[in-house]
Structure 1
Amino acid sequence: MKLQAANVRTLLMSVAIILLAALIAAACETERVVEVEVIKEVPVEKVVTQEVVKTVEVQVPGETVVVEKEVVKEVVVEKPVEVIREVLKEVEVVKEVVVEAQRPMVRPAPGTVLNIVTSDVGPANWHRPIANFPYNTMSTLLGVSEHLLDVAPDGTLLPMIAREWVVDDVGITWTIQPGVPWHDSAYGTVDVDDIHWSYENGSREGTVSHATGWYRDDFQNPRIVDENTVQWDWGENGPTIRYILTTRGLGSGTAIENKDYYETVGEEVHSSKFMGTGPYKVQSHVNDDIITLEAIKNHWRNTPDFEIVRAIEVPEQATRIALMKGGQGDITDISIPLLDQIVDEPGMRLVQGAVAGKTSAIFFMGGNFQIQPTLSDGTPNAPANTDNPWVGEPGNEEDLERARNLRRALSYAIDRDSINEFILFGQGCHQYVYTIDVCNPRHQDEWIHPYDLDKARELMAMGGFPDGFDMPLWIPTATPPDTFIEVAEAIVPMWEELGVTITIDKSAYSSRRPEFFERGALQDVFAFPWGGNLELVQYTDYLCDLIDGCTLWNSGYDDPIGYDVHKTFSQNYQDTDKAWDALVPYFEYHSHLGDLPVVSSLDWLDPLVVGPRIGEVDMVEHSLVMPEIEGIHIAEQ
């Protein structure tokens, strides 16, 4: 079949239009479906003075397809003017579908800033052995440090600095990830010397990091096997689940630090100008004012969304609320009673981490130390402070029971229903036993007792103080959540109804924390915000309260049952149900049926509030000290 010249031109025009449309679609990543009716009249008067040979070919990548090839010979008389008339009629937009492909986001997004408004940024002191809680968690929560292991929201252990680990009857073999770069490229990448040194130095004599201090108790003969491998053998007490405190998801765990940097700049500079391997690096830290971080582009594990992060210290809740409302803050913690001032603001919402860290209001009864008069190393224990009415004389069962009745009276006098209704708006769980609440399916009804002021007064009389006694009470500030302070203060008048005269100390937690490293130092009653419902692994730490020498931090009491409970729990660390069963004597000891060395009230989950610039939130650890910023993502624009 032969094509006329006009048809050839039409074909060429159609091919050009198709190619142009394809280029536009590729550039915009848009798919269009358009139905068009076209009517064309094209009268053409042509002037041609030469012989024309035309070949029509369509180029396809990789091959040439010949549609038509012909020779056309035309000889006409030359005229100086060519006239082309074209009438084009189109009927369009019967149906149009446009699919826009999303442009991938550049990470970190240029110019983006995440503003955290928090009650306390603390001192520029990041080095684990000298950083008091909660400041020893900052480098982890802010994504500056990394750990041997990571943890998934369901508690599954994941590789981080360690790409493989083998747990057996001998111990643990760690194989490290090759090529993990330090923030300062002059120090190269993480090596086995850094791993070994981080734990050896972190658990050194005098360390204040009890979550690293366990390393020396649980393992022996730690050694470098080769350039990629470190081996830890189990200690004298055998295998323990506590090794998973190496994870990032438990903020007090051990971060990996650079040995050469420490030895080059010294401990003070190393701690104040901290260097890690995480997705963010420290630009500056002004004591008790502001921390500024910068994103690591093309991070080896997880390039973050925000280019800059600022953690700004704002102690007053009202100011934090105002900053969030004004768009100057992106994430903060606010006490439950004040949430109604902000949650209805446009773009505001409540978020939490997968592993819920509940806040509580429990009370350590100071001076209740000496149950075992001699420590494991043969030295005398700190003497019991029997000047405190709630402390009994060691070895005198009658006096010990008298003191227990006073502690029971304090528990019976707490109106948990009213606190839950008027302060926590029904979001709390009653707690009668340290570290477990009534919302936990493993809680037992026999550990519950009602609010009963008459019963409390009866117990006060049985305790030898029917008209009350004096009580110094420390309610720590700065670090603990604001809701905790409100709940603790609400309990004060309830105890005052029993005739207890209370003197409140509101010193910052960090200022008195060293007392927990010296047995016998804490003599007053201490309100504690971190003894709420725990995950199973956390008992590897909390069980040590009952054991001499088990942990550097101690809450001031020990008991012979603690050794049996800890041993049974550790032996069953691979069987969840058996491990929980091993804890029952621990719970009974802390109940009103047992010794009740700690008086509990309620626990609850303090949420975080995020603003409109925040998108998806997938934090693992729920922390009010500082949000886990690796799980905070920028909102899609």
Structure 2
Amino acid sequence: MRAFIMGFACCLLGAPAQGQNTQGQNTLTIATQSEPTAMDPHFHRSNSNNAILRQVFDPMVDFDNAGKIMPRLAESWRIVDDLTWEFRLREGVRFHDGTPLQPEDVAFSFARLPDVPNSPGSFASTVRTVSRVEIVDGRTLRVTTSEPTPFLDAELTAVLILSRRLHGQATTADFNNGRAMIGTGAYRHLSYEQGNRLEAARNPAFWGDAAPWERVQIRFMSNAGSRVAALSAGDVDLIDAVPTQDVARLEADPRIAVFGTESNGTAYLFPDTVREEAPFVTDHEGRPLVPNPLRDVRVRRAMSMAINRQGVVDRLLAGQGTPAEQFAPPIAIGRIPDQPPIPHDVARARALLAEAGYPNGFRMTLHGPSGWFPGDTDVLQAVAQGLNRIGVQTRVEVLPTATFFTRATNRDFAMFMTTYASNLAAITLQQVVATRNPTLRMGPFNRQHYSNPAMDALLQEALRTMDRTRRDALTAQAMRSAMEDVAVIPILYLKVNWAGLRHRVRYDPSPSWYTNALFATPAN
């Protein structure tokens, strides 16, 4: 089937793609790999949700694609003192139905974050230190925190603002069926068909510059070959998650432009270091292993050394990525400076396994999502091959993303691969490897319930340190503690690519992997 699709795509490349898209010259049609897990802006902190919903809803502040925090609904903000931030909202902003934006809506949005049922990845940690929101006047609010919070503005880039009047009783189902899809964004929601497409129209009353596209259609195409074929035929204007093996060919095509950038995301393995008996880990006869070998740091180091990261990037991803030497990517602030590469050393890995009491290895299953990033299944298979070489007989099981994340959150796996993206190393640690504490809203993505008190202490100090130099040094120490304990096994930093019809569209590539019309402009 793959050979047929690729052959079909190659045939299509021989014919001109002259915007056969029947939607019209002022309609942008995008084919995207991932669809949202829900349309509720506070349901799931995932890239696909965040990207699509930003067309309809706005945060108070946001990162631009250069990593700088920019005003959105808040035209300005300032630090009053170590525990107080003041935000000034833009004048005259209205939701799509005409309801005015007020400071009370921001307070409502903050309060709603922890209360969204069945969230597979909560936004609650973004406001974990917010103790009070004071309405100063019709456009100004003051946010009081329980401790110094130097990253509050960065955290709030993730929070899309809802209306207390329109969304006070709204459920996730109300967003999914469209009734609650009323925001302040550049585009108004028209329709959403799960598994098929989403449609939006330009908001004529948008508070910012008018959107260049009258209508936007986003088609969900998980199959990479189908996306490339649709672009080559001119059925869509833009695709994301360009298959790594197709980047060079598409770059050479005069009708197509490729837009790529290094991302702020890391692909990593997350081992179960907590349970005495882990699922999917057995001896060579298939009997459960007790104690769980993944609890031994020597085993985790051996598994990390077994991965040929440079080979994965060069051979499987055609150079579309960078081998990871720590959890946070190069774009992230506060990472370990001058960290050496993780060695690929099969002999040393075997020796470490023997020291840990597993000279003959063991068996396990490695899980991952299918279609989460280009080449993800191939990367999983390469990791499994590396583990097999050191005696850990590994099989791979991939699952649809919604199923995978639900099961990962339920702790159904011994070790799985996923990604995390952030411009801040401290937030990466706080979200993924900080000791899980729902009350303090720490470790919301710590699906394996890892705990390292030494790392926690350094991180907590960094998270309340207002001085940038000292904060970055503390974050780097916390990162080093996590890496020495092999809390996670970083594999690679991802490069992300979009491709579009050259005569139709230009795309400003997002390090956060965001695919939406906000970054697309007409070619002419």
Instruction: Give the structure 2 partner of residue 293 of structure 1.
Output: 200
Instruction: Give the structure 2 partner of residue 121 of structure 1.
Output: 35
Compute the displacement of 1:240 (Å): 3.2
Compute the displacement of 1:578 (Å): 2.7
Paired residue type of 1:112: N
Counterpart of 2:355 (choices 446, 449, 462) is: 462
Q: 1:291 to 1:462 in 2, by over 3 A?
A: same
The answer to whether the Cα contact below 8 Å between 1:202 and 1:209 also exists between their aligned partners in 2 is: no
| Partner Cα distance (1:120, 1:485) in 2 | 15
Residue 521 (structure 2) pairs with residue 633 (structure 1): yes
1:136-151 alignment to 2 at 5 Å? 136-141=49-54, 143-151=55-63
Compute the displacement of 1:147 (Å): 1.1
Q: 1:157 to 1:122 in 2, by over 3 A?
A: closer
Counterpart of 2:494 (choices 570, 584, 604) is: 604
Q: 1:135 to 1:449 in 2, by over 3 A?
A: closer
Residue 390 (structure 2) pairs with residue 498 (structure 1): yes
Residue 498 (structure 2) pairs with residue 586 (structure 1): no
| Partner Cα distance (2:279, 2:334) in 1 | 39
1:162-561 alignment to 2 at 5 Å? 162-167=74-79, 168-185=81-98, 188-204=99-115, 206=117, 208=119, 212-235=123-146, 237-247=147-157, 253-263=158-168, 268-273=173-178, 274-297=181-204, 299-332=206-239, 333-352=241-260, 356-366=262-272, 368-369=273-274, 383-385=275-277, 403-436=296-329, 443=336, 447-478=340-371, 480-515=372-407, 521-530=411-420, 535-536=423-424, 539-544=426-431, 545-549=433-437, 550-556=442-448, 557-561=450-454
Compute the displacement of 1:296 (Å): 1.6
The answer to whether the Cα contact below 8 Å between 2:103 and 2:135 also exists between their aligned partners in 1 is: yes
Compute the displacement of 1:595 (Å): 1.2
SS at the partner of 1:203? helix
Compute the displacement of 1:588 (Å): 2.1
Compute the displacement of 1:411 (Å): 1.5
Residue deviations 1:371-421, cap 9 Å, x none? xxxxxxxxxxxx54368879xxxxxxx999981111111112112232232
SS at the partner of 1:128? coil
Instruction: Give the structure 2 partner of residue 379 of structure 1.
Output: none
Compute the displacement of 1:264 (Å): 7.0
The answer to whether the Cα contact below 8 Å between 2:435 and 2:456 also exists between their aligned partners in 1 is: yes
| Partner Cα distance (2:334, 2:168) in 1 | 50
The answer to whether the Cα contact below 8 Å between 1:327 and 1:611 also exists between their aligned partners in 2 is: yes
Q: 1:132 to 1:228 in 2, by over 3 A?
A: closer
Paired residue type of 1:327: G
| Partner Cα distance (2:366, 2:165) in 1 | 45
Compute the displacement of 1:582 (Å): 1.1
The answer to whether the Cα contact below 8 Å between 2:298 and 2:353 also exists between their aligned partners in 1 is: yes
SS at the partner of 1:475? strand
In the comparison of the two structures, how many residue pairs are matched? 484
Compute the displacement of 1:256 (Å): 1.0
Compute the displacement of 1:144 (Å): 1.1
SS at the partner of 2:369? coil
Structure number with higher relative contact order (C-alpha < 8 Å, ≥ 6 residues apart): 2
| Partner Cα distance (1:438, 1:180) in 2 | 33
Q: 1:400 to 1:239 in 2, by over 3 A?
A: same
Q: 1:470 to 1:206 in 2, by over 3 A?
A: same
Paired residue type of 2:209: N
Compute the displacement of 1:584 (Å): 2.5
| Partner Cα distance (1:497, 1:569) in 2 | 40
| Partner Cα distance (1:466, 1:227) in 2 | 69
Residue 80 (structure 2) pairs with residue 159 (structure 1): no
SS at the partner of 2:39? coil
| Partner Cα distance (1:134, 1:320) in 2 | 19
| Partner Cα distance (1:481, 1:387) in 2 | 25
Q: 1:535 to 1:388 in 2, by over 3 A?
A: same
Residue deviations 1:166-215, cap 9 Å, x none? 21223112222221121123xx2212222211111123275737563025
SS at the partner of 1:183? coil
Compute the displacement of 1:263 (Å): 4.3
Paired residue type of 1:201: R
| Partner Cα distance (2:331, 2:49) in 1 | 31
The answer to whether the Cα contact below 8 Å between 1:336 and 1:606 also exists between their aligned partners in 2 is: no
| Partner Cα distance (2:29, 2:359) in 1 | 53
Compute the displacement of 1:165 (Å): 1.9
Q: 1:207 to 1:213 in 2, by over 3 A?
A: farther
The answer to whether the Cα contact below 8 Å between 2:113 and 2:122 also exists between their aligned partners in 1 is: no
Larger radius of gyration: 1
Compute the displacement of 1:116 (Å): 0.7
SS at the partner of 1:130? coil
Instruction: Give the structure 2 partner of residue 622 of structure 1.
Output: 511
Q: 1:137 to 1:559 in 2, by over 3 A?
A: same
| Partner Cα distance (2:170, 2:298) in 1 | 56
TM-score by length of 1: 0.69
| Partner Cα distance (1:514, 1:439) in 2 | 28
**What is the RMSD of the two structures over their aligned residues, measured on CA atoms?**
3.1
Compute the displacement of 1:323 (Å): 0.9
Paired residue type of 1:483: G
SS at the partner of 2:206? coil
| Partner Cα distance (1:399, 1:554) in 2 | 19
| Partner Cα distance (1:205, 1:310) in 2 | 28
Q: 1:559 to 1:207 in 2, by over 3 A?
A: same
SS at the partner of 2:396? strand
| Partner Cα distance (1:217, 1:322) in 2 | 45
Q: 400-409 or 291-300, which moves further after superposition?
A: 400-409
The answer to whether the Cα contact below 8 Å between 1:431 and 1:437 also exists between their aligned partners in 2 is: no
Q: 1:540 to 1:494 in 2, by over 3 A?
A: closer
Q: 1:438 to 1:445 in 2, by over 3 A?
A: farther
| Partner Cα distance (1:446, 1:135) in 2 | 31
The answer to whether the Cα contact below 8 Å between 2:505 and 2:521 also exists between their aligned partners in 1 is: yes
Compute the displacement of 1:301 (Å): 0.4
The answer to whether the Cα contact below 8 Å between 1:330 and 1:613 also exists between their aligned partners in 2 is: no
| Partner Cα distance (1:399, 1:475) in 2 | 20
Paired residue type of 2:35: V
